[in-house]
Homo-oligomer: A and B are copies of this chain.
Amino acid sequence: MKLVYRFGNGRTDGSARMGDILGSKGANLAEMCRLGLPVPAGFTVTTDVCVHYMQRKAAPRELAAEVREGLEHIEKWAGRGFGDTDNPLLLSVRSGARVSMPGMMDTVLNLGLNDESVKGLARASRNPRFAWDCYRRLIQTYGEVVLGVKPRSADEPDPFEAEIDRVKKQRRVKHDRDLTAEDLKELVEEFKRLVRRRTKHEFPADPDEQLWKTIAAVFRSWNNERAVVYRRMNDIPDDWGTAVNVMAMVYGNMDELSGTGVAFSRDPATGENRFYGEFLTNAQGEDVVAGVRTPKPISELHSVMPAVYRQLAAIRGKLERHYRDMQDIEFTIERGRLFMLQTRTGKRTGFAAVRIALEMVDEQLITREEAMLRVEPDAMNHLLRPIFDPKEKSKAIAEERLLARGLPAGPGAAAGRIFFTAETLQKARKGRDEEQYILVREETSPEDIKGMEAAAGILTARGGMTSHAALVARQMGKVCIVGCSEIEVNCRQGSMSVHGQKFQEGDFISLDGFVGEVIQGKIKTIPSEVVRVLVEKTLKPEQAPVYQRFARLMRWADRHRRLRVRANADHPDQARAAKALGAQGIGLCRTEHMFFGERRINKFRAMILAGTESERRKVLKELLPLQRRDFEAIFREMPGKPVTIRTLDPPLHEFLPKGGKEIREAAKVLGVSPEKLRQRSNELRETNPMLGHRGCRLGITFPEITEMQARAIFEAACRVKADGVDVEPEVMIPLVSDVAELVQQRRVVDRVARQVFEEAGIKVRYRVGTMIEVPRAALTADRIAREADFFSFGTNDLTQLTFGFSRDDVGRFLPQYLDEGVIRRDPFASLDITGVGRLIEQGLELGRRTKPGLKVGICGEHGGEPDSVKFCHRVGLDYVSCSPYRVPVARLAAAQAVLLERAETHH
């Protein structure tokens, strides 16, 4: 069995297909060599060696010889010797498993240095500062990674960094780069002393010992506590092991003919087919990322090093043709010589994804089916989000108003006044709703929810894509940038500063949530092309290239998908937008949202305050024409399409006023004392309203409410049908946990239907069905199906109950759960297939066992999330229903589900 795979210098043993034994990093380096690209020579120790090492606590006997051969292979390529004191070869060692695993150790650079060879390097590079900096970095990372020199408690600072800080203070300098070669030399001595003190051993001067101990440390890291826990949690087999990549070091900071950069083979923001990226001369990779110096656009490389630029541009084309997708590459130029360090599929915005996929079809690089699979369905939603006026945005960038970059956690564009606490923002907004506001926080917490709701955009200095801010913003559909570490927030002073520039409460900033850019000042936002063409009808299709691409992709998707897509819409204008975006019906119309108008809310409150059934009926009679009018308008928007209307769902307490002033005002309007209102509110308060007196439980204790709603539905249907418009009403009973509840509510609905049809002299075909959103409903779906014409899985509540997570409270622990890998994805964003999915499959199977043709859909927010949609297709649901602006997402995801299914059956 081969233990070591070499790459580069004309001899490459591996390829991209060998990820299982080489890890993804190693396999990709090999592939670039195969393509003849300039990659520094190196070798990969296979994952099998790791497994052997873990089992026997020792490497296979043959390994030493193979590594020796690998070293010679590198030395030959580099023309330097590993351990040579005059012109030393330095190595990097990186771990690399089959799948990416956070919590595994990463990288040790500059292996091969010691007190002698550092001088050789200084001479050879003619740069002593560079040499000593390499050496101190080696001792530091080797000390941490291989020797385990770490802070002894969470409160203690990193011991190496503490030394650096001490020396900087002594020298009165601010940045690491201000330290001289002499300073670094002193640091090296301090570091060695630190290692001796902590480990009772000297830092090893022998390059071979350095290399072998580092390889062993990478192997051991496979079994460190965090990695083991991570694997158990994520079902990664323990016997996969990690590979180890050993590679010659190359340096972009040798001189002005050296440099380093990152680039994309097409524009990752727009998708335009142009070479896009940036570089720095005389710099290391981390300088590009750190933002200390401003990198230059890749096009300028042409004037600096024309030959290198031409070579790079050729590589760009070669890689794209080879991988048939947009690539994200890293390169280093050492004294005019180009080296490729990495290539991988490039991340892109939704706009870019769509454009690249379609243009690659036109370029005959990929097929239409591949194009459909290439676009993340969420991209279809990005195409609907508000954008910055392109001219104004270009102007802002030209004026160098780009302040910082963070992680794009919520797509869209927003500009507004900044506030640093939820309270001040809410207070500022009061009475000035027309203005827009941006909440800026170090990071957000559950107490900030109201402020986030009131803001148009959210910006945080800390936190990643799974942080509280990112989760909540996605849930609320807010523009959001997180982890923008360049800003410093001082929320007590009500200010923030970015690279020394200070911003006060009330100042304007603009957030581009598509790419994560924070821009100074106020940039005008406009609706997306697609919305202007389809919903607002203020733009002609031929003037809207983004819309045209959207429409083309949607046409293809609709030709393939089988799953039907409906929308959740509570108002006629939502229904209209949904239809424009392709909805094939309404899957969920929440009647309670109709009660929140100024006049209606007080009628509804009067109903809640009514002491007797007959009083209640009196008020309900007044609400009837209002509901009927709403339903009529929605039916007219959806001719010939099913409209599913859910009876009253939320607990009554939600309709009552909260604050003292609100209570006094409402009491006045209602003609009761504030005490009475407060008392009723107290009576209705529940410990766990989510599990309380709501859903069909209300309809059962107050059947007159269901009666009124059924009457409004059927009267509206009859009026619309009388005008010759096709109607297909579906009455949906929420929160059923037992068939008996459905029996009872269905009787009320059927009775009212008979009465209304008799009165109107018109009959309308209708269905009565139920939400399956309580675990017990799924578990007893065979019984429930006896009484139901259709099921609709309410996956929001079903997720809450199956996990025992309150959606309102989950922010207290879910971010940490996601960070630590206890949960892989937010189950409210993407359907939990392992648990909730099992329940859905069970409910579906039991329901169709009773009624083979039972129509079944889903109407939780998962209905617009691509992986959830694919699950729905796979288990055999008839339709998904989601918010209008996610209908295109669901359409594409449904098409992908078909294509994936086809690919599977072909394998």
Contacting pair B802 A779 (CB below 8 A)? yes
Within 8 A of B (CB), among A799-854: 800-806, 808-809, 812-813, 816-817, 820-823, 832, 834-836, 838-839
Copies in the complex: 2
Contacting pair B822 A802 (CB below 8 A)? no
Within 8 A of B (CB), among A758-778: 773-776
Contact of A434 with B by CB under 8 A:
no
Residue of B with least CB distance to A846: B838
Contacting pair A229 B803 (CB below 8 A)? no
**Given that A834-B780, A835-B776 are contacting pairs, would A690 and B688 also be in contact in the complex, using a CB cutoff of 8 Å?**
yes
Contacting pair B747 A812 (CB below 8 A)? no
Interface band, chain A? 35 or more
Contact of A233 with B by CB under 8 A:
yes
Give the chain B neighbours of A836 by CB distance below 8 A.
Answer: 776
Contacting pair B741 A822 (CB below 8 A)? yes
CA distance A154 to B697 in the complex (A): 21
Contact of A447 with B by CB under 8 A:
yes
**Given that A738-B822, A812-B693 are contacting pairs, would A806 and B154 also be in contact in the complex, using a CB cutoff of 8 Å?**
no
Contacting pair A154 B688 (CB below 8 A)? no
Interface centre among A693, A740, A800 (most CB of B within 10 A): A740
In the assembled complex, the CB of A151 is this many whole angstroms from the nearest CB of chain B, namely 13
Residue among B691, B740, B743, B817 making CB contact with A800, cutoff 8 Å? B691
In the assembled complex, the CB of A357 is this many whole angstroms from the nearest CB of chain B, namely 35
Residue of B with least CB distance to A800: B691
Contacting pair B780 A835 (CB below 8 A)? yes
Q: Mark A15-37, 1 if CB is under 8 A from B, else 0.
A: 00000000000000000000000
Contacting pair A691 B690 (CB below 8 A)? yes
**Given that A693-B812, A743-B232 are contacting pairs, would A155 and B614 also be in contact in the complex, using a CB cutoff of 8 Å?**
yes
Contacting pair B779 A835 (CB below 8 A)? yes
Contacting pair B744 A229 (CB below 8 A)? yes
Contacting pair B743 A233 (CB below 8 A)? yes
Contact of A689 with B by CB under 8 A:
yes
Residue among B153, B229, B809 making CB contact with A686, cutoff 8 Å? B809
**Given that A688-B809, A700-B816, A809-B691 are contacting pairs, would A747 and B225 also be in contact in the complex, using a CB cutoff of 8 Å?**
yes
Contacting pair A806 B737 (CB below 8 A)? no
**Given that A806-B686, A816-B701 are contacting pairs, would A737 and B776 also be in contact in the complex, using a CB cutoff of 8 Å?**
no
CA distance A153 to B704 in the complex (A): 14
Residue among B735, B743, B823, B834 making CB contact with A804, cutoff 8 Å? B735
Main secondary structure of the interface of A (DSSP, over half): helix
Contact of A692 with B by CB under 8 A:
yes
**Given that A447-B683, A701-B816 are contacting pairs, would A738 and B835 also be in contact in the complex, using a CB cutoff of 8 Å?**
yes
In the assembled complex, the CB of A475 is this many whole angstroms from the nearest CB of chain B, namely 15
Q: Mark A646-682, 1 if CB is under 8 A from B, else 0.
A: 0000000000000000000000000000000000001
CA distance A612 to B155 in the complex (A): 10
Give the chain B neighbours of A738 by CB distance below 8 A.
Answer: 822-823, 834-835
Interface centre among A739, A747, A835 (most CB of B within 10 A): A835
Contacting pair A744 B154 (CB below 8 A)? no
Give the chain B neighbours of A743 by CB distance below 8 A.
Answer: 229, 232-233
CA distance A155 to B611 in the complex (A): 13
CA distance A817 to B693 in the complex (A): 12
CA distance A741 to B690 in the complex (A): 24
Contacting pair B812 A692 (CB below 8 A)? yes
Contact of A687 with B by CB under 8 A:
yes
Residue among B233, B806, B838 making CB contact with A688, cutoff 8 Å? B806
In the assembled complex, the CB of A788 is this many whole angstroms from the nearest CB of chain B, namely 13
Give the chain B neighbours of A735 by CB distance below 8 A.
Answer: 804
Contacting pair A686 B780 (CB below 8 A)? no
Contact of A797 with B by CB under 8 A:
yes
CA distance A774 to B447 in the complex (A): 27
Residue of B with least CB distance to A687: B808
Q: Show 6 residue pairs from A and B whose CB-CB distance is below 8 angstroms, ordered by the A residue.
A: A233-B740, A446-B683, A447-B683, A688-B689, A737-B803, A737-B805
